[in-house]
Amino acid sequence: MKRNGLLKKLLSVTVASCMVMGLTACGGAGAAGGAAGGDTGAAAAESGAAEGSGAASGAAIKIGGSGPLTGPAAVYGNAVKAAAELAVEEVNAKGGLQFELDFEDDTHDAEKAVTAYGVLKDWGMQVSLATVTSAPGAAVSPMYKDDHIFAISPSGSSLAVIYQDPDNAASPYGNVFQMCFTDPNQGVASADYLAAHTDLGSKIAVIYKNDDNYSSGIFAKFKSEAETKGLSIVYEGTFDDSNASDFTVQLKKAQDAGADLLFLPIYYDPASLILTQANQMGYAPTFFGVDGMDGILTLEGFDTSLAEGVYLLTPFSADATDDLTKNFTANYKARMNDEVPNQFAADAYDCVYAIAQACEAAGVTADMSATDICDALTSQFTSMTFNGLTGQNVTWSASGEVSKSPKAVKIENGVYVGVED
Amino acid sequence: MKKFSIGNLFSRKKRGRTISFLMVIVAYIIMQTMMSTGSLSSLFSGLLVPLCCYIVAAIGLNLNVGVSGELNLGQAGFMSVGAFTAVSVSGYLAAGIPNPVIRLIISIIAGVIAAAIFGILIGVPVLKLEGDYLAIVTLAFGQIIKSIVTNMYLGFDENGFQFSFVDNNTKLAPGGKMLLNGPMGATGTERISTFTMGAILIIISLFIVYNLMFSRCGRAIMAARDNRIAAESVGIGISRTKMLAFVISASLAGAAGALYGLNYSTLVPAKFDFNTSILILVYVVLGGLGNMTGTIIATVILVLLPELLRSMQDYRMLIYAVVLIVIMLLTNNETVITKLKLLQKSLGGGAKNV
């Protein structure tokens, strides 16, 4: 009898929750928007305590964004989220312009990015940080265009994020911008640098990740540039997610091919394994990385002495001594349990400040519609000059591409040292 | 000619089928009305097409797992084949056939055919065997397809098609278009999928599956599932009947993939990985093997759940898992099933039990 009652209760709870779920599903914009708004309102009130919670809703410009907060790429999404929150707090604390941030999880999946976009739109997003990663970015960019919402991606570096026809780099969306270099730009810059500095090595081996947009995007452009510049690539090695732990085969082949320079257009975690395994094999070419290599010095459990002499192209270095970088690094560390900010974080921080600068210059207020803000910001971004963590005198072209020069640095005694061009 | 009557539609045997169709049609009308009046949130209007895709793929998989009794762990592989075929066909025809509806239909048909061909290729050797070999082979198939598409480069320009494998050696003239770009998959796809097409696909797949189940072939499939030896002894060709269910299942996955691929402007091969296959299998198992209505409901709930729980942030996947376990326990518990049946009976007498 007692059991029967319990079961009935369980059943009715299940049925009731199903019905509630159904109701919220059909509740439409009002309900979903209300729930999301309440949630972020609370977050904003919590973070912007200095301003008082009253300023959080209504008077603030709503900035949306999505990135992988869970899953294998979560480290990038969380870095961007933390840095963007930091920047929003700083902007709000100054008084005047007020921002409110809602950063959704897209698990580095195009489908989830589109639903995250729906959530943000229901919330009333006026300006967006687009997405952290490239493939989801390419999926939501047409929606930003259709709905005419201004977006700037901190780190979605693929051409497909800003161009409708990425194969020919033609017909840009126009209102989607990038804060980071495009992948091909890095390929060109790397090839340029190596062509100008043949003393680093003349026989080039490349190990890249072929199921990664970023890595293969850089490599494809690097290869075609290398051909025109007469650089000789003696070995091309690939790996993917499923075999990203053992590189001895690729390294052995590179060694056998007589490569004296190893180009690594990959992120720092596999790169650290390559450095370690090359050291164990006694193979010591010159290593050359791109901006994904940034972060290798702060990797836990990695012997940083192995990274001595590694060259990399990076827009940002957490060890820089200017005030802006020092403050940012200190605040970020305080927020993220002593984690050193990487370039993703720096790009996100710059994005918020660039939006703030453009909003101030254009006189954007929170009661303007997303379309009006989009027009105002688009004209600002294509005409203004921005100074931030990741570069001085940064400008944007009408197609949304950023113009800042990647700087080559060399790791010496555990710090980045600028290399003369 | 059998006389048509409403009573017949709700007979014990046909009741499930009628409920399935009614449910889909009513849901479609409600959603369509809400969309036209603008009361549907952006979140849900964005979720409708992928929801339809997962439902079609799950119905197909249920035919294979529930009705035919063969485990398939590579449904996402067939979706991948369908998706990338459809995206390529649509990209190639974009200039020639400007009408998106006609192009969508042609692309879906191409996706279905491609997935069916792979289904036949796999089914011919494997379904002759007795045991769980199909599960092993489809598991491998899913991985292989992912790797192949990741390494495939296909483009076209005014001089024709260019194809290369592993290393991208395609050199397109200006104005050319990459249909498949290795790990980057398909980019710049025109989004032509519609919710209406999704609903039509669900109706078509329900129609195919129910008609098959109530036909002579369908009874043969179920006989082969329940007792292979007995079925063989009355002259049923086991591998042929199982093949029928498997290929239809693969084709439906192809259609689902095609619709999915054409709903996003970008599609990466890594999307259709082992996890996606398992996800679809979870929809089928929780919906009930051989129960199409249950499959549709389970798919809707499990696709919507993580989105509805977004406000819980990090806890949402935890809650999702708990819900999965609870449903699994409830639906497989004998006592619960008996009580549910009792409840169903007493509901006729009065609502006092609810």
**Cα–Cα distance, A360 to A96 (Å, whole number):** 9
Alpha carbon of B314: minimum distance to chain A alpha carbons (Å): 8
Strand-strand pairing, B152-157 and A407-412 = unpaired
Collapsing DSSP to helix, strand or coil, A308 comes out as coil
**CA-to-CA separations, B56 to A101, B147, B202, B295, in angstroms, rounded:** 37, 24, 6, 10
- In terms of DSSP bridges, do strands A286-289 and A261-264 run parallel, antiparallel, or are they unpaired? parallel
- Residues of chain B contacting residue A217, judged by C-beta atoms under 8 Å apart: 184
| Interface test with chain B among A69, A167, A240, by most B beta carbons within 10 Å | A167
Mean pLDDT of A95-120: 91
User: Which residues on adjacent β-strands are paired with residue A236?
Assistant: A206
pLDDT at B333: 75
Higher-pLDDT residue of A79 and A318 is: A79
pLDDT of residue A38: 36
CA distance A196 to chain B (A): 26
Query: Which residues form the domain of B204?
Result: 6-36+43-273
Q: Is the pLDDT of residue A5 over 60?
A: no
A–B: how many Cβ contacts below 8 A? 140
**Phi, psi (degrees; rounded to nearest 5) at A156:** -80, 95
Q: Would you say residue A55 has pLDDT above 50?
A: no
- pLDDT score at B236: 92
Domain ranges of chain A: 40-181+329-403, 184-314
Residue with tokens 């209505």: B293
**ipTM for the whole complex:** 0.86
Chain A nearest C-alpha distance from B339 (Å): 8
Minimal C-alpha gap between B113 and chain A (Å): 25
Q: Do B175 and A168 touch (CB under 8 A)?
A: yes
User: What are A387's two structure tokens?
Assistant: 């100074």
Give per-residue burial for A339-366: e unless 16+ CB within 10 Å, then b: bbbbbbbbbbbbbbbbbbbbbeebebeb
The fold of A184-314 is Rossmann fold (3.40.50)
CB contact under 8 A, A110 and B271: yes
Contact between A313 and A190 (Cβ < 8 Å): yes
Strand order in the sheet with A407-412: A232-239, A203-209, A261-264, A286-289, A311-314, A407-412, A415-418
Distance from CA of B41 to the nearest CA of A (A): 4
Q: Do residue B265 and residue A138 have CB atoms under 8 angstroms apart? A: yes
CA distance B163 to A311: 35
Cβ neighbours of B352 in A, within 8 Å: none
Beta bridge partners of B178: B155
CB contact under 8 A, A24 and B41: no
Return the pLDDT at A14.
52
d(C-alpha A288, C-alpha A23), whole Å: 56
Radius of gyration of chain A (CA): 23
A310-336: average pLDDT = 86
- pLDDT band of A420, cuts 50, 70, 90: low
**Tokens of residue A48, six digits:** 């912007």
A6 close to B (CB below 8 A)? no
Residue B227 belongs to a domain: yes
pLDDT greater than 50 at residue A21: no
User: Is there a contact between A99 and A61 (Cβ–Cβ < 8 Å)?
Assistant: yes
Give me B139's structure tokens.
């598991």
- Among A11, A27, A115, select the one facing B47 at the smallest CB separation: A115
Percent of chain A with pLDDT over 90: 39
**Cβ neighbour number for residue B263 with a 10 Å cutoff:** 27
Residue B317 lies in a domain: no
pLDDT reported for residue A66: 94
Structurally, chain B folds into a number of domains equal to 1
Q: Quick one: pLDDT band at residue A22, thresholds 50, 70, 90? A: very low
Confidence (pLDDT) at B120: 96
Residue A419 has pLDDT above 60, yes or no: yes
Residues 6+ apart with CB under 8 A from A299: A268, A269, A272
Q: What is the CA radius of gyration of chain B?
A: 22
As a whole number, the mean pLDDT across chain A is 82
pLDDT over threshold 70, residue A171: yes
Mutation test of the interface with chain A: which of B26, B35, B36, B43, choosing the one with the most A Cβ atoms within 10 A? B43
| Chain A residues whose beta carbon lies within 8 Å of the beta carbon of residue B187 | 138, 158, 160, 166-167
pLDDT the model gives residue B340: 75
What confidence score (pLDDT) does residue A314 get?
80
| Confidence category of residue A409, pLDDT binned at 50, 70, 90 | confident
- Quick check: B40 and A24 CB within 8 A? no
Quickly list DSSP for A368-413.
S-HHHHHHHHHHHHTT--EEETTEEEEEE-TTS-EE---EEEEEET
Q: Calculate mean pLDDT across residues A218-236.
A: 89
Q: What confidence score (pLDDT) does residue A8 get?
A: 53
- pTM confidence score: 0.84
Interface of A with B in 153-172 (CB under 8 A): 158, 160, 163-168
Supply the pLDDT for residue A9.
Answer: 55
Torsion, Cα A141 A145 A148 A153, to 10 degrees, reads: 30
- CB contact under 8 Å between A139 and B265, yes or no, is yes
Pull the structure tokens for residue A70. 């869970």
Q: Tens-of-pLDDT digits for all 354 residues of chain B? A: 555 666 677 777 788 889 999 999 999 999 999 998 888 888 888 999 999 999 999 999 999 999 999 999 999 999 999 999 999 999 999 888 889 999 999 999 999 999 999 999 999 999 988 888 999 999 999 999 998 998 899 998 888 888 988 777 778 888 888 899 887 888 888 899 999 999 999 999 999 999 999 999 999 999 999 999 999 999 999 999 999 999 999 999 999 999 999 999 999 998 999 999 999 999 999 888 889 999 999 999 999 988 888 877 677 778 888 888 887 787 777 787 788 788 877 765 544 433
Architecture of domain A40-181+329-403: 3-Layer(aba) Sandwich (3.40)
pLDDT exceeds cutoff 50 at A2: no
The answer to whether the CB of A92 falls within 8 A of the CB of A51 is: yes
Identify from B26, B32, B37, B44 which residue to disrupt to test chain A contact, counting A C-beta atoms within 10 A and taking the largest count. B44
The C-alpha atoms of residue B179 and residue B181 are separated, in whole angstroms, by: 6
Pairing relation of β-strands A402-403 and A391-396? Answer: antiparallel
Residue B340 lies in a domain: no
Q: CA dihedral in degrees (A134, A138, A143, A146; nearest 10)?
A: 130
Q: In this complex, do B47 and A142 lie within 8 Å of one another by their Cβ atoms? A: no
Q: What is the pLDDT of residue A13?
A: 53
